[in-house]
Structure formats: structure tokens, C-alpha cells
Chains A and B, each alone.
Chain A
Amino acid sequence: MTSVDAAVKDSQRFSFKFRKNISITLSYLLLIVVALFFLFPIIFMFVSSIKNNETQIIRDMSSISAFIPYGDLGLKNYFDVFKQMPFGRFMFNSVFIVSSTVLSGLVLNSMIAYALARLRFKGRGLILSLIIALIIIPTEAVVIPLLLMVNRINWLDSYQVQIIPFIVDAFSIFLFYQFFIGLPKSLDEAAKIDGANPFQIYRKIIVPLSRPVFATVAILQFLVRWGDFLWPLMVTRGYEYRPLPVAIQQFFSQDPKVWGDIFAFASMVTIPSLIIFLLFQKWFMRSVASSGIKG
């Protein structure tokens, strides 16, 4: 009796374990299939970029061999890009424009948010509602008059035209504001008693405590600015100040299309942002998540 009971229990345990194993296997299978769906265009780009033979790329495009690095492999396409285009210049432009916009944005946006969240002064409520209202205005709605304005002051084809208008951002201010208002008020008071002025409190107390929100704003702004296309397309004409997205679009639209070179160019545009993402992956996820919670 007891041995039968045990056997039944055993087989139950076994079937439970078995079913659990099956469901885990199915989960992984689904996860992998979806992963392939998200990866295949990117793998395809990298693999094609190292195929030296252009006719092979065209021949391979209709089958699984598009994803297999075989045949004449090398960096010829990459060298071709450097021969035809000042790629280094484009990369420098993008890095310079994005980093100076994001970094100065961190300073200015956090400063005004600090004043709004932690200082008491007349006009505070008015400024706060103004900034919340400004979040709604999309850049696309103002690009035409902005173009008219920068054209008037001869800013076309320059770095500043791609940096200065985008440093201060209402949504970034709002994110900083929400974080700062949640910090305990006693911090400022203690510092005030010690004779610290508002600027010192901002520098020495608020900023060191607010690393997460600085990371969030930096990452969200990086994503927007790195991929920005419409505005640089309108304000850059020559090579000198052109950022990567416009440069690769123009390289792509030249006929005849040499796909090996195009994919090499595309890979070089993608690799830096992919590396930054992989390094700060946790922060990216956290930033995106926190952009949504408050909405």
C-alpha cells in the first residue's frame, strides 16, 4: 500500500517536473525565435559588410547564406568608405554635437529644475506650468520658423545650429523636477544652517544624490539626438558639419548603390551606439522605464 502510494506520488512529481521542463523549453524556444526576428537585420548588415565581393552580396541576399560569413571576407568595404568619404569627420561631428548638447543640457536643465523644486520665489508656479505646457510642442511643429530664424542670423552649416536650440528641453526639466522634489527637504535646511548658499547646495548636495536622474536624462537625450535626422538634413549642406545619419542617407541615395560599402558605413554608425548600449544596458532599461511611469 505504502509503496504504491509512493509510486503514485513519484509519478505525479515526475509528471509535474516533466511538465515544468516542457514549459521552460517552450519559453526558451519562443524567446529565441523572437530574438532571431529582432537580430536578423542587424546580423545581415554586419555579415554583408565583411563580404568583399559585391556580386556575392547580391547573390546571397535571397537565401540563408545572407547570414553566413563565407567566401572572400575582409575589411575592403570599410576601406572603400574611408576612401570615398571623410567618415572620421562625420563621426566627429556626431559625437561632438550629441555630447555637447547632452552635457550642457544636463547642467542647464537640472539647474532650472532645482530652482523650481527646491527654492521658494515669486513666479515659480508660473514658470513650472509654462514648462509643463511646453512639453507638448513637438520640434517638428517649429522647425520651419526655426529655420527662418537661423537663416537670418547666418547659422546654417555650423555646429551651433545643431547644438544650441536643443540644449534646454522641457521634458528633461520635468524629469529633473520630479526627482528633486522627492529628495528630503531637511537636506537643504541642514546645509542652509551651515551657511551654504543655493548654488553650493545644488553642487554639493543635490547633484551627488541625483545620479540616477542625470543618467536617465542623458540616455533619453542621447537616443533622441543621436538619431536626429530632419533638422540636420535642413541645416547642413556640405561635409563639414554633417552628422552621421544625414551622411549615411546621402551615401545611400547615390546611384549606383554599392551595397558592401553601404553596409560597412551602416555598421560603423551602429557599432558605437551598440557598444554604449551594451556597456550601460541596465541604465538604458531603467531610464526608459522611468520615462513612462509618471507620464
Chain B
Amino acid sequence: MISESANSNTKSLEKNKKNRSSLQRRETLAAWSFCALPLSFLLLFLITPFIIAFVISFTNQRLITNPNLPTQFIALRNFVRLFNSASFRQALLNTFIFAVVVVPLQTFFALLLAVLVNQKLRFINLFRTIYFSPVVTTMVVVSIIWYFLYNPGEGLINQMISFISFGKLGPYNWLNDTALALPAIMILSIWQGVGFQMVIYLAGLQGIPDELYEAGRVDGANAWQQFWQITIPQLRNTTIFVIISTTILAFKLFTQVWVMTKGGPQGATKTLIILLYEEGFKMLRVGYASGIGVLFFLIVLAVSLIQRIYLKEERAVI
């Protein structure tokens, strides 16, 4: 009786094992069938062009290949030419200036707006909605409206500045002025994008536990001290995220510039992606343009790695 039951026990165990391994096989099969299509899309439309970008940045590939001029391997000549080209250096510089100015300003204003709309007031949702609405307005449309507002002479912006300064300042040529074209684009970029980061900060603010503020009040901290001692440190991770994502967005600057100035006047608003578009699409110098793409990727990669390092430090502290 006992041996019989033991026997049946081992049998059922074996059966179980067999069942489990067949279940596991079925699960693996199912998993791969879930993954197959998405993975092949990524392989085709992201990984492959990414590899091609690296490969052809070492060649003189053109969009329409000329049978008499076969594509050649030219090693680092594209990159040498890039760094020797004045327009590339200008584009790189403009892009950096744009990022260096826009990222801190936009982050600062986003935090300010988030604090402003974090108050418990009636209609506060209405104000959140209004501040966010430029984000859902297409960038091309935003650029067109601001192009009109920046109208030299009679434009609304000039009139406002003249009104505020009692006629002492302006009129400015904005988009036709090499010194003002990039700042003009910075202003509208912040106007359009800041609502996005505001919402991220708002979520961050609402995630700070109330007990911290209560403890602060008990210790006699005023609102200003509470802001610096509690709010800012608690928002550390949010701030890192906002800064990094805004930086990457800033390096992608293209649409506003293409609509408003096409990189002009005299290259004053030329950016990396404007140059990439012109070289790759207009001049058909695909190898050269891919070199720009590769450098662009390396910059974005560096920025992301900085984020990783900072976030890791934070984890180590905890």
C-alpha cells in the first residue's frame, strides 16, 4: 500500500516535471512570438540605420550614387572636414549656446510655474491647462505666429518693448539680426516647452510628503527656508531628469529654426540638425551628413551618461 502510493507519487512527479518543461517550452515559444515582430521593426528601422550611419560616415556615400564615381572608404576624412569647416563649428557653437541658455532658464521657469500652480486655489486646473496649451500646439504653428510677432519695426514684440521702456528701446530687427535671431528663437522655444517640465515638477512637488513640511514648521522654518531646505533637495531626481531631457531636446533644435530663419542670417541660427538636413538632403552628401549624425549621437550619449552617474550617486547616498 505504502510502496504503491510512493510509486504513484514519483510517477506524478515525473509527469509534473514533463508538464512543467513542456509548459516552459510553450512559454518560451509564446514569448518569442510576442517579441518577434517588434524586435524585427527595431532591427530594421533603428539598429540597421544606426550601424549604417557609422559605416557610411567613413565613406563618401551620396544619396544618388553615380556609377562612374563609386563610393569609397575615406576613413576619418569626413570628421576632419567637419571640424575644419566653419559652418560646422558655427552650428556646433550655436547648438551649445542654445542649450546652455535655454536649459537652465526653462528648468527654472518650470519649477516656478509648478510652485505657482501647486497652490490650493479655485480654478487652479484652468491655469494648469492654459500653461500647458502651447505644448499641444504644433511647433510649426508656434513658429509662424512668433515670426509675425517678431516682425521688425511694427511687430507686437517691438511695440511691447517700446511701451515698457517708454520708447527708449527698439525697434529691433529680431530674426534678421545676427545677434538677436538665436535669442528670439530661444524665447519662443521656452514659451512652447516649459509647460511640459512644469507638469513633471508639479508631480514631483505633490510627491513630497506633508510631514516634512510639518516638521519644518515645528522647527520654525519660514516658507522661504522650507523651500530651500525641503522642496529643492526633495526635487533632486526630478531636476536631474528635467535638465537631462531638456538638454537632449535642445540639441535636437530644428523645426523652429527651419520655419523662421532656415539657419540665417549668415548662419546665426544654424544648428547641428539644420546642417545635417542641408548636407544630407539638399546637398545629398550622405556620408558627410552621417558624420554629423554620429557626432550628434555621441553628444546625446554623453549627456545621458552624465545623468546615469548623477542618479547612481543619489542611490549610493540612500
Chain A residues in the interface with B (C-beta under 8 A): 24, 27-28, 30-31, 34-35, 37-39, 41-42, 44-45, 58, 61-63, 66, 108-109, 111-112, 114-116, 119-124, 127, 131, 134, 136-138, 140-149, 151, 164-168, 170, 173, 197-199, 202, 223, 226-227, 229-230, 233-234, 244-246, 248-249, 252-253, 259, 262-263, 266, 269-270, 273-274, 276-278, 281, 284-285, 288-293, 295
Known: A248-B138, A252-B259, A295-B245. 17 other contacts (CB 8 A): A30-B116, A38-B134, A120-B31, A121-B27, A134-B47, A140-B296, A141-B50, A144-B53, A151-B63, A168-B41, A197-B26, A233-B277, A245-B255, A273-B137, A276-B136, A292-B200, A295-B307
Could you say which of B42, B63, B242 contacts A170, with CB atoms under 8 Å apart?
B42
Which of A35, A137, A197 is most buried by chain B, counting CB atoms within 10 A of its CB?
A137
Q: How far is the CA of A162 from the CA of B276 in the complex (A)?
A: 19
For residue B126, which residue of chain A has the nearest CB? A35
Chain A: minimal CB distance from B211 (Å): 20
B37 touches A108 (CB 8 A): yes
Q: Does B119 contact A (CB under 8 A)?
A: yes
A167 and B241 in contact (CB under 8 A), knowing A62-B159, A121-B32?
Answer: no
A248 and B252 in contact (CB under 8 A), knowing A38-B134, A142-B49?
Answer: no
B116 touches A168 (CB 8 A): no
B49 touches A149 (CB 8 A): yes
A62 and B154 in contact (CB under 8 A), knowing A38-B130, A285-B199?
Answer: yes
Residues of B within 8 A of A165 (CB): 41, 44-45
Q: How far is the CA of A42 from the CA of B189 in the complex (A)?
A: 15
Q: How far is the CA of A278 from the CA of B144 in the complex (A)?
A: 23
Residues of A within 8 A of B242 (CB): 292
Chain B residues in the interface with A (C-beta under 8 A): 24, 26-28, 30-32, 34-35, 37-39, 41-42, 44-50, 52-53, 56, 61, 63, 113, 116-117, 119, 121, 124-125, 127-142, 144-149, 151, 154-156, 158-159, 191, 195-196, 199-200, 202-204, 207, 237-238, 240-242, 244-245, 248, 252, 254-255, 258-259, 273, 276-277, 280-281, 286, 289-290, 293-294, 296-297, 300-301, 304, 307, 311
Q: How far is the CA of A34 from the CA of B198 in the complex (A)?
A: 13
Enumerate the 6 nearest inter-chain pairs by beta-carbon distance, A residue then B residue, closest first.
Answer: A289-B203, A292-B200, A295-B241, A145-B52, A115-B34, A198-B30
B199 touches A144 (CB 8 A): no
Chain A: minimal CB distance from B242 (Å): 7
A259 and B135 in contact (CB under 8 A), knowing A38-B195, A144-B293, A197-B26?
Answer: no
Residues of B within 8 A of A197 (CB): 26, 30
Residues of B within 8 A of A270 (CB): 137-138, 141
Could you say which of A45, A62, A121, A148 contacts B145, with CB atoms under 8 Å apart?
A45
A62 touches B248 (CB 8 A): no
Could you say which of A115, A137, A233 contacts B50, with CB atoms under 8 Å apart?
A137
Q: How far is the CA of A278 from the CA of B125 in the complex (A)?
A: 11
A164 and B116 in contact (CB under 8 A), knowing A31-B127, A137-B297, A266-B141?
Answer: no
A140 and B273 in contact (CB under 8 A), knowing A41-B146, A164-B45?
Answer: yes
Question: Could you name 7 residue pairs across A and B whose Cβ atoms are closer than 8 Å?
Answer: A119-B27, A120-B27, A127-B35, A141-B300, A229-B254, A248-B144, A277-B129
Could you say which of A119, A245, A252 contacts B34, with CB atoms under 8 Å apart?
A119
B53 touches A35 (CB 8 A): no
For residue A198, which residue of chain B has the nearest CB? B30
B155 touches A62 (CB 8 A): yes
B277 touches A142 (CB 8 A): no
Could you say which of B41, B196, B244, B296 contacts A138, with CB atoms under 8 Å apart?
B296
